[in-house]
Amino acid sequence: MSNSTKRKVAIIGAGLAGTTAGLGLINAGFDVTIYSDRDRASLRNDVPPTGTAVYFGKSLDYDAEIIEDLYDAGTSTGMSVRIFSGAGEARTPVLAFDSPFKYKAQAVDTRLRADDRLARFLARGGKFQVRAVTPRDLDAIAADVDLTLVATGKGGLSSLFPVDTGRSAYAEPQRHLLLATFKGLHHADRQFAYRSSDGAKHNWFTIHAEFGETFFGPYLHKDIGASWAFIGFAKPASPWIELFKSVTDTQRARDVVVDLFATYFPEDAALIEQLQPLHEDPHSWFLGAVTPTVRRAVATTANGHPIVAIGDAAISFDPIGGQGAQTAVIQAASLVRALKTHAGKITFEWLQDQFEKHWNNRGDAATEVTRLFLGDPKYATHAELLFAAAAVNVDIGTAFLGLLSEPQPLLGIQSREDIIKLISDRAGEPAESVLARFKPPQQFARAQSAERAAVPA
Ligand SMILES: Cc1cc2nc3c(=O)[nH]c(=O)nc-3n(C[C@H](O)[C@H](O)[C@H](O)COP(=O)(O)OP(=O)(O)OC[C@H]3O[C@@H](n4cnc5c(N)ncnc54)[C@H](O)[C@@H]3O)c2cc1C
């Protein structure tokens, strides 16, 4: 154990979770070493971002306890949702709503966020060791410090923490993912007005009821700055899976997204085809799939030293509900907060108590909101009623999107009666009257081609 007056911390992994905890603990006066399997330049330049990692509202407050807001792009203020069903001649619009957030959302490249944290961590005396830590190393590392955090992401050392089957709703991935970043359209472009009251400041969530979902919105890329994030979520057996699998480089990523919109969401095609591949960053795209998993986040090494998992190593989410990065920074900031006032020994039991608090504060609700966005049968009534009500009343859409920032209220809205009450309360009139006004749209407004949009009205 440490002889220094400062308490010693080892953090394995320098992604968003590891660097957030590292900077927070250095600021709080701990002696911190971060171990990373890549050096700083490689973390920034040789790997794709772990995800789009939009912070929706509340997580920005937690993040502000760790680092000042450095970013002036990638901000969004609402969401334009459109749902379609069927294909070809049988393709039909199901519903749409465009609602503002009651908060700010911010999508910044995880590589940049982590690098900015690492820069400050190093400047304030943090130590950084480049090595891939094995379970055996971990035992020796943990023996020498007061606290060991495992922040190695979904893979890495997460298997040291057993899956909590009681808290994990799924045993396999629910979506095949394509993430890609593009340039070519301006964040203030007026062409976006056909979908949203706030133009390009509203993200798009465009859903095909049978095949999957797409997210598209403003993003801050680590090198080029203002840019566009796309995520495709293909359901099992969706024809999108083969399309995604054909992506091999930045150009093909762009062509596949253009093709996807042209075939399934042609209303947006004229705008999407103006996107350009981000050749500057060969790691601006990736294919993936996440098994949503909750782990028993506190374990011991071979010689009985406690270790705690943070970020994706503790809870990994399907990204459809945008919860992973948010939950990671909330967990890291909450742990830093608790450690500042905990003078005693950092025991297994104390760490377990902290994780239970995190589960109750965020993890449980974030897991449930992800199930809602995945269209899990548990939340079929929520989706049916809330989407229809949001299409009629903009405030219901805002309340629904509030769950991305603060998912906790969902835990108290479980029965049909709870949902009806929410709709009535938000609308100021009986839910039945709101829902009776819902009519499926005949068609949706279309994007104009760039040339036509440029002609003054
Ligand atoms: C497509 C997609 C979209 C997403 N969108 C959102 C969103 O909108 N909002 C949101 O909140 N979240 C989102 N997420 C989730 C978010 O990106 C992650 O939750 C978050 O970035 C995880 O950070 P992390 O630090 O836990 O893990 P990682 O970023 O995976 O970092 C782990 C680090 O540990 C290192 N490492 C691994 N093993 C070792 C070892 N043995 N020794 C040393 N180092 C090691 C790795 O190289 C890596 O650098 C999305 C995820 C995906 C896949």
The rounded Å distance from CA 16 to ligand 1 centre is 7
Q: Ligand 1 pocket check: which of 50, 121, 134, 404 to mutate, most ligand atoms within 8 Å of Cβ?
A: 50
The rounded Å distance from CA 216 to ligand 1 centre is 20
pLDDT at 455: 47
The rounded Å distance from CA 313 to ligand 1 centre is 9
The rounded Å distance from CA 424 to ligand 1 centre is 39
End-to-end CA gap in the chain: 73
pLDDT at 2: 44
CB count in 10 Å sphere of residue 254: 26
Per-residue pLDDT tens listing for the chain (457 residues): 444 689 999 999 999 999 999 999 999 999 999 999 999 999 999 999 999 999 999 999 999 999 999 999 999 999 999 999 999 889 999 999 999 999 999 999 999 999 999 999 999 999 999 999 999 999 999 999 999 999 999 998 999 999 999 999 999 999 999 999 999 998 887 899 999 989 999 999 999 999 999 999 999 999 999 999 999 999 999 999 999 999 999 999 999 999 999 999 999 999 999 999 999 999 999 999 999 999 999 999 999 999 999 999 999 999 999 999 999 999 999 999 999 999 999 999 999 999 999 999 999 999 999 999 999 999 999 999 999 999 999 999 999 999 999 999 999 999 999 999 999 999 999 999 999 999 999 999 999 876 655 544 3
Q: Ligand 1 pocket check: which of 312, 320, 330, 405 to mutate, most ligand atoms within 8 Å of Cβ?
A: 312
Q: Ligand 1 pocket check: which of 137, 152, 257, 295 to mutate, most ligand atoms within 8 Å of Cβ?
A: 152
The rounded Å distance from CA 421 to ligand 1 centre is 37
CB count in 10 Å sphere of residue 162: 10
The rounded Å distance from CA 296 to ligand 1 centre is 18
pLDDT at 457: 36
pLDDT at 451: 61
Half-sphere exposure for 192 (CA within 13 Å, toward CB): 22
CA-atom Rg of the chain in angstroms? 22
Give the C-alpha distances (Å, rounded to integers) separating 432 from 251, 387, 391, 392, 416: 49, 14, 14, 12, 12
* 8 A C-beta contact, residue 284 and residue 194: no
Cβ < 6 Å from ligand 1: which residues? 12-18, 35-38, 43, 50-54, 110, 132-133, 151-153, 156-157, 177, 179, 231, 288, 290, 311-313, 319, 322-326, 328
Instruction: Specify the pTM.
Output: 0.97
pLDDT at 69: 97
pLDDT at 456: 46
* Residue minimizing CA distance to atom 1 of ligand 1: 51
The rounded Å distance from CA 416 to ligand 1 centre is 36
